[in-house]
Structure 1
Amino acid sequence: MESSTADQQQLGASKAPPKDTRFKTEDVTNTKGLTFQSFGLSKEVLLGIHDMGFDAPSPIQEETIPVALEGRNIIARAKNGTGKTASYSIPIIQKIDTSRSKVQALVLVPARELAMQTSLVIKELGKHKKIESMVSTGGTSVREDIIRLSQTVHVVVGTPGRILDLASKEVADLSECKILVLDEVDKLLSIDFRSIVAQIIEIMPKEKQVMLFSATYPQEIKDFQSKYIPAPQFINLMEELTLKGVTQYYAYLEEREKLHCLNTLFSKLDINQAIIFCNSVKRVELLAKKISQLGYSCFYIHSKMDQKDRNRIYHDFKSGETRCLVSTDLFTRGIDIMSVNVVINFDFPKYSETYLHRIGRSGRFGHLGLAINFITEDDKHDLFKIEDELHTKINPIPQDIDKNLYTI
């Protein structure tokens, strides 16, 4: 089924409308009924929370914020898109002493886009308290970081390699940094980052609060915990791994049929914004070109792009400049764009962890979303394995998908 010009304009030419936020799933509504005021937060912090539009704490925020405010070490598991960033950002902001110009909190994340997003949340939440935060990641100017660190900075959000470089050269003074957050810790403790994170911890004060956040809890975290996190408070809200609001389907087809199937979906679905995942940089660029040839506005993003181009694409997509983004797994970690209601795995992933993070880009913070997986004969084993490991069911795609499953 070919898409009409009207369909093409509806998908790609205009900015994405704001997503209806009236309906939310149990992932964020199944709370104890606490309020942010009940945590004993300062007036300035409460004003920041109000400005962010947070009405009441989500389950992970209810569980985490009081424990974090007590200074306890935390290992927290919660689904993607349920409010983990605010769970640690709010206690950090509450505990910062703005009369001191030293770095007092460090947030490590595995991806540059996630670092930018997290820093924006901290800046917004902390603006009434006049919290000074900065982003420091690879791919950006070291000179700019040096200049910024010569001024007052209370919170640094960054990727491990850049932070270790600055700290080991004593450009970043972590001598009074008593709070460490590892967000998406399963990735931070993978083989790519583990030794770097350990070196950063050794540089920091011996007495500090460490908070770990992730959706999954691999063996690497258990080993790390025994060495670096004494007496942690475990918080586990992961009885189910996949978000309640995300409906999952698969389309069984041949490789040569994928583009036609994607075109059909574009014409039939009520897409607010969509992220389409491929398994390689080359596939991302090729698919984005094909989608543009079909007449749709489309961006693409991957790790081999210059950082300034990645920043621009991320900003423009989040602002709704286009409704379609083709990406590698660069974009699976913590990227929080509420208007994304459809995720399409053009190439099916091999690992359940990757699948979980990909589909978690839709259905953010209790909203509804749709995950559609293109499955070839070669993917069948991985499909069954992922269903089994995540205790979830991915159903065959119906002829017509009920819009109420992903648009309310």
Structure 2
Amino acid sequence: MSTVSYELKKLSSKNIVSPKGFKAAGIHCGIKHKKKDLAILVSEVPASVAGVFTTNAVQAAPLKVTKETVYNSKKMQAIFVNSGNANACTGKQGIADAYEMQKLAANKLGIEPNLVGVASTGVIGELMKMEPVRSGVKNLEINGSLENAIDFSQAIMTTDTVMKNTAYSTIIDGIEVLIAGTAKGSGMIEPNMATMLGFITTDANIESDELQKALSEITDLTFNSITVDGDTSTNDTVLVLANGLAGNQPLTPTHPDWSNFYNAMKTVCEDLAKSIARDGEGATKLIEVEVDGAISDEEARKIAKTVVGSPLVKTAVFGCDANWGRIIAAVGYSGATVDPDKITIKIGNALMVEHGEPVPFSEDELIQILKANEVKIYVSLEQGTGHGLAWGCDLTYDYVQINASYRS
């Protein structure tokens, strides 16, 4: 990777159409009772595309259709999305409906169907209501306004309580290049990948193969490092569109400014991943677990994700209970190589365990640390140089209530 210093600036207007040549729209068409439920994201020109998808063996119809475009066409100009119905476990009719959605969007835009990706999120096992989609696509008024970007972000939400948007600029070949993202997801969040829809746009000039390699690497460090409830969905999709309109020279790992682009995309993905973890269904706190001294980065991430995914750790954080025994237990059953006599644990700045031995601590101080909106857990293993991060949320009474009545 290049040693050129990387320049990154967070944009105050964080929206999916910030990069050059992108437009969007989002409306209520009738799949849901009241809220927005149909959206489209469009590039002025066919864009390089990269995608990562659910590891669940049961995969929704729109995901299968979109995979064909990503892997075969390697170009995409539009993404057509609905919420309220996942179009998953819907058999041959579901596949037919996903292809029809692709054609509806293509006809709307006057482009070939194989340039359209489709994505759906919502209830599993119910056939798609296609009539609202057919009429709704005609009512999509596509432009590059901030309002339209917000409409798009709102239309892809299900149980999310907030929109998840981010955008950055960086410098490549002396040219400002923008990269932006929006996502939905707050329950059934257990990568590999997180249960989510994520859409990233950039005006960088990069071929699909290089974009795919970068996204796959970055996904392991971001979207695959969050967990809410241990469930993996049928519809997980992250798509990146790069339309090249910034005008930089084509990006490859040998380009002197490659690290600028790579770090900008990684930051966008990390922002979205943390936003999903923070918005876990019923959640009140974001939990970050950092692990140092593992035998490899992969093992460090494995331990971090095991700790942040432990229901007992999550409920302890919710209850402001400084129960470090739950943390060290999760480290032990993670399956990674550990030496119990070398483990050190901190919650916030408070040392709890040092080299496997308990350390006296102030209960009052720990309660205040655990009351914060963000709780940091640090684990040191002294086994090697591996480092990893993972993010999750606390587990609350509201999570049970939300998911007990999801279909109603």
TM-score tier by shorter-chain length is under 0.3
Higher strand share: 2
TM-score of the pair, normalised by structure 1: 0.26
Higher relative contact order (CA 8 A, sep 6+): 1
Higher helix share: 1
